[in-house]
Structure 1
Amino acid sequence: MKVAVVDVKRLSPVSQEDLRRRVVAAVESGRTQAEVAETFGVGLRSVSRWVNTFRASGNKGLKARKRGRRPEEQKALTARAQARVKRAVVGKFPDQLALPGLVWTRGQIAELIERWFGIRLSRVTIGKYLRSWGLSPQKPIRVAYERDPEAAAGWVERDYPAIAARGRKEQAVILWLDQTGLRSDAAVAATWAPTGQTPVVPKAGVRFGVNAMSAISNKGELYFTVFTGGFNASIMIGFLKRLIRQLDRKIYLIADRHPVHRARLLTDWLARHHDRIEMHFLPGYCPELNPVELLNGDVKHHVTATTNPRTKSELAAATRTHLRRRQNQPDHVRALFGKEEVRYAAD
């Protein structure tokens, strides 16, 4: 018989304390937390929290407390204080304000508010303030310390527009190029499973990897090669030879400053084929400006994070299959240029 779910917040403080004690006693008697949660009709997280509190503080941690905010939480931030905190979160990193880390968390913001204004706020309250300021949790883009912001801005505002104008004049195709590696021991993507039961996914015990090199255009064209072993100028030249055979237009190839891209062997080959292909380089340490980085992430997600290649040949075959699928989906390739960082290259 299924037990009805208990709304703990509606219970009196005394009833809450009694429930906590009975739940903890059941777990301490040897029953699993999942069984106890189902028996008492409470959430598994609540059971885990109460048990951890008991083990850390004993019975006093389970005692009923007076409801409402703590005295130090009664005050609300003034409009001026809110504006000051928002400026700090938007315009600075935590370490610039003597706080640990490079990204803001609600805990760090709470610590900053207590330091500046002497007000201690809960993480729930901090979250409400952040949302009211128009902020949301987002995964940041990693930027190298060596990155030159002026060079990046110059590329977007001056260098690339000049290349695009020349390309239109010569009726050339502009392709962005990048390489990526795929490994058998890559992290597995999340999956659905019963609460409290971590799923087990079989992966090959032997480590192996393959490499892929892709070139895409903002019109949805995709060209690629999959190879094993190290990346060198000979592999690059072989790929470029295929490009000039497949395309009857001049190619403007945009790539990062990988040492192979500037190798003497490749430079000499490009000089001999200048009428068919030119290579242009992105500013250093600016991978976010290359839309192929997004394709690389797509390939890794679909090939190594959600499938289970058991051999190097299977991994290479899965990589080719996915890239061929994307070749037949030009709309998907064009959509890569819609992300803010690479939107400059969409036209």
Structure 2
Amino acid sequence: MIAGVRDTRRLSPEAQEDLRRRVVAAVHGGMTQVEAARVFAVAPQSVSRWVQAWRKRGSKGLTGRRRGRKPGEQKALSARQQRKLRYAVAEHTPATFGLTGLVWTRKTVAELIRVRHGIVLNLRTVGNYLRSWGLSPQKPIRKAYEQDPESVRRWLEEDYPAIAARARREGALILWLDQTGIRSDATVARTWAPAGQTPVVGKTGKRFSVNAMCAIGNKGELYFTVYTGSFNGKVFLPFLDRLTRHLDRKVHLIVDGHPVHRRKTIQQWITKHAEAIEMHFLPGYSPELNPDEILNADLKRTMSTSTAPKTRDELKQAVRSFLHRLQKLPDRVRSYFGKPEVRYAA
């Protein structure tokens, strides 16, 4: 910066335009450009440039221009390149293009841009591109390689609609069932804390777990049992017996392909009580089709954020308390059927 010369960049666009007009008016009125530069504390080169602009374009030559780039101007990626990259990220995985990883990160997208177009971008710029393409970071749904797409299609378009129609004709209740385990050493959820200071949460150093089996309906029904040890017929049969005794209408119970569900003794019991209950199997390797999986996630998240049990009995009581409260919140249970993958069952 030249001594005695103001930095006009600090002025607002309106103030800059006003200054240019006053300088040009002074020169037009007889003041030399050198004198105008000294009086208005600006560089002589600026005075010369403003006078030339006024002579060429008149008053329009002194009008302030929008700062920064024009939309799309001087971007590293062309519009065509952006369209292709967006399609690649939205419709494919990194492996399709010989990159490592199962999911797209800013680093992976930056590597794709470098490989395909020879352009190196920092991660912040890559993130800006991703957002401008209407993309956002999301947790993906895991889908087993062994899943049969045809079985899933048949379940969604034929099998389940037929079950729902039968249940309506019979005045029966459809319930989805699943089991889950809750551990004392489960990962603690995130919390707010001063930057740079990792918070400490007290937990027992002992490892123990309890299990829960829940059956839910899309009107907010919830039936459960909490148990320890392995899931087997001695756990499943008493639950089925209590369920059918408690309800005054038939149950269509939807389960996964767990070996216990298919055990001969279980199937014999189901056949014997066919007027009270029928059991239907989800397509193999398709947990995302079971709304009870969302209840399981809610249960585990609640246990990791609101409890610090010191013994198995305390953990068991905490799980029971949560599920008892949930029985009184049918709207929350119904919300488990709102996720896109299970909305077919709502």
Shift of 1:75: 5.0
Distance 1:304 1:123 in 2: 32
Distance 2:78 2:238 in 1: 64
Distance 2:325 2:75 in 1: 57
Partner of 2:156: 156
Q: Is 1:285–2:307 an aligned residue pair?
A: no
Partner of 1:116: 116
Counterpart amino acid of 2:77?
A: L
What SS is found at the alignment partner of 1:318? Answer: helix
Distance 2:251 2:141 in 1: 30
Shift of 1:135: 0.7
Q: How many residues matched?
A: 277
Distance 1:304 1:310 in 2: 13
Shift of 1:245: 0.9
Shift of 1:305: 4.0
Q: TM-score, normalised by structure 1?
A: 0.77
What SS is found at the alignment partner of 1:223? Answer: strand
1:61-210 correspondence runs (5 A): 76-210=76-210
Partner of 2:334: 334
Counterpart amino acid of 1:310?
A: K
| RMSD after superposition | 1.8
1:46-65 correspondence runs (5 A): none
Q: Is 1:322–2:326 an aligned residue pair?
A: no
Distance 1:193 1:262 in 2: 49
Pick which of 76-85 and 260-269 moved more: 76-85
Distance 1:87 1:194 in 2: 40
The share of aligned pairs that are identical, in percent, is 61
Counterpart amino acid of 2:182?
A: L
Partner of 1:304: 304
Distance 2:231 2:308 in 1: 24
What SS is found at the alignment partner of 1:229? Answer: coil
Counterpart amino acid of 2:286?
A: C
Deviations 1:129-160 (A, max 9, x none): 21121110101111111111221122112211
Shift of 1:122: 2.0
Shift of 1:96: 1.5
Question: Given that residues 183 and 304 in structure 1 are in contact (C-alpha distance below 8 angstroms), is that contact kept between their aligned partners in structure 2?
Answer: no
1:333–1:75 Cα change, 3 Å: closer
Distance 1:150 1:105 in 2: 31
Pick which of 113-122 and 312-321 moved more: 113-122
Shift of 1:76: 2.4
Deviations 1:75-106 (A, max 9, x none): 52222211111111011110121101010011
Distance 1:75 1:194 in 2: 37
Question: Given that residues 75 and 119 in structure 1 are in contact (C-alpha distance below 8 angstroms), is that contact kept between their aligned partners in structure 2?
Answer: no
Partner of 1:230: 230
Deviations 1:267-323 (A, max 9, x none): 111110011100000001111110000101111111234310111111110000000
Counterpart amino acid of 1:243?
A: L
1:103–1:278 Cα change, 3 Å: same
Q: TM-score, normalised by structure 2?
A: 0.77
Counterpart amino acid of 1:149?
A: P
What SS is found at the alignment partner of 2:288? Answer: helix
Partner of 1:220: 220
Q: Which has the larger radius of gyration?
A: 2
Q: Which runs of 4+ in 1 moved over 4 A?
A: none
Shift of 1:222: 0.3
What SS is found at the alignment partner of 2:77? Answer: coil
Deviations 1:149-173 (A, max 9, x none): 2211221122111110011011100
Shift of 1:193: 1.6
Shift of 1:237: 0.7
What SS is found at the alignment partner of 1:161? Answer: helix
Shift of 1:218: 0.1
Counterpart amino acid of 2:140?
A: P
